[in-house]
A and B are shown apart, each in its own frame.
Chain A
Amino acid sequence: MTMSIILAVLALSVPVIIRLAKGRGSTPQVEQIRSVDLRAFRNLVDPEEESYLHRNLPPAEFRRIQRERLRAAVEYVKSAAFNAGVLMRFAEAARRSPDPGTAEAAARLIDNAMRLRTYAFQAIPKFYLAMIFPGRRISPARVAESYEQMTRQVVLLGLQYPTGKISAAL
């Protein structure tokens, strides 16, 4: 009975929470975009950098440092995924543009933003797993590539549609 009631409460509360959340921040703002330093992120997940630290640090120290680095990498991925979400809401509006070029650029941006959120969804558990087992290899390169591609698409969209200061904020 308890499990059924928990599921029932979930089914009822999830749409309400989503509706309330949407109502609070229905218009995305450029200020919402979080700063993401791709170079720093790449450095944090670079296997060579990790090997170098492994070779030169005592094991306990390496594990502590590696956890810190992975924690920072998770924050970067979360920020990139968050930015993708904000951009998608801008691009949804542009997708309805009567100009086919703008609509196409917006559709591509949405595709890339979705791809990035998919990668982020897969990468974050891997990072946490690597925090528990330092030394475990992860390959989050696709997140960085996808983020770069998304940034480029924002620029392309901006040439055809007013997207303001978004790319500068990325």
Chain B
Amino acid sequence: MLSLSLVWHIIWFSRVTASLVLFLVIIRRQLYKQFPLFAVHSAWIAVAGMAVVALDYAPFVSGYQYFAGVAISSGVEAALAFMIIYQMFMQRLEHYPVVRDLGTFAFRATTVVFLITAVALAWLVPGQAPNQLFAAYSIVQRTVRTLQCGQLVFLFLFYAYFHLSWRSRAFGIALGLGILASTSLAVNAIHSQIASGKTWTPSEYTLESANEFTYLLAVLVWLSYLLAPDQSTTLDSGLPDHDLETWNRELERLLKP
């Protein structure tokens, strides 16, 4: 039977490989022109993923150096994810001037509300960690993921309420980010409650394997949407036939209220 550590490593390597494939697909299909920030994000998760694997196996790298590598990788990834969410929202609003101001205000208000919530949660429920450095990293990560989840929920609800059209690839990118942020948040929240010491317990391995697996799932979602033809989720055809008589009646009704 495979050990939990081995399972975790297999999923981790698969995720890094899939990230590399994703980046190559973006380059090959020239999708960086359409989604420049997402292309940078994909490049980063591929390169940083490989670098972290290398750090894990390099004999001269200490535990703290490895941790610093993971923190930098996650930090840049999170910053890029924020930029993608913001750009995705603002670019779409450009096409709908009526709700631009309302959308911008609501997006900012949502961000502030979730930032306050995340900071309050970090303050009230700091969680457990083997040392202060890990505790700080865990809190920052939880705060970032809370904020991202809040922004994504707002984005999806706003688009749904105003029936804004999604291009399928943009939807796929947002969906992948949702999978990544939500699982990371859930795992981080559970981990902060069960973390015991410097050595991982079987439950921590299981949790991290689940985290890596959903990261892999997010990358596969991005891949599947980018490989499929881009479509709009709104109506493209199939409008009913023209009915001149009805329109004439309607015009009459409007002219004589």
Contact = CB atoms under 8 A, between A and B. Distances in A.
Interface of A: 1, 3-5, 7-12, 14-16, 18-19, 21-22, 26-28, 30, 85, 88-90, 92-94, 110-111, 113-115, 117-118, 121, 151-152, 155, 158-159, 161-168
Contacts, number: 146
A18 B247 contact: no
B235 A89 contact: yes
A167 B162 contact: no
B163 interface: yes
29 contacts: A4-B121, A5-B189, A7-B149, A8-B181, A9-B182, A11-B149, A11-B150, A11-B178, A11-B181, A12-B178, A14-B153, A14-B156, A18-B156, A26-B233, A27-B235, A28-B235, A30-B240, A89-B234, A92-B165, A92-B235, A93-B236, A117-B162, A152-B254, A158-B242, A158-B247, A162-B239, A164-B239, A166-B240, A167-B250
B144 interface: no
- The residue among A3, A15, A16, A21 with the most chain B CB atoms within 10 A of its own CB is A15
B249 interface: yes
B239 A11 contact: no
Given A163-B240, A164-B240, A168-B250, A114 B182 contact: no
A7 B146 contact: yes
A159 B17 CA distance: 55
B209 to A, nearest CB: 17
- The residue among B171, B189, B235 with the most chain A CB atoms within 10 A of its own CB is B235
SS of A interface (majority)? helix
Interface residues of B, number: 57
Contact of A1 (B149, B193, B251): B193
B102 interface: yes
Nearest to A87: B163
B196 to A, nearest CB: 16
B153 A165 contact: no
A114 B96 contact: yes
Contacts of B94: none
B185 interface: yes
A4 B146 contact: yes
Given A4-B186, A14-B156, A88 B240 contact: no
A105 to B, nearest CB: 13
B192 interface: yes
B97 interface: yes
- The residue among B99, B189, B190, B237 with the most chain A CB atoms within 10 A of its own CB is B189
B239 A90 contact: yes
B241 A155 contact: no
B153 to A, nearest CB: 5
Given A28-B235, A152-B254, A167 B246 contact: yes
Contacts of A30: 240
Contacts of B232: 92
Given A19-B171, A30-B240, A167-B250, A11 B152 contact: yes
B19 interface: no
Interface in B173-221: 174-175, 178-179, 181-183, 185-186, 188-190, 192-193
Nearest to B176: A15
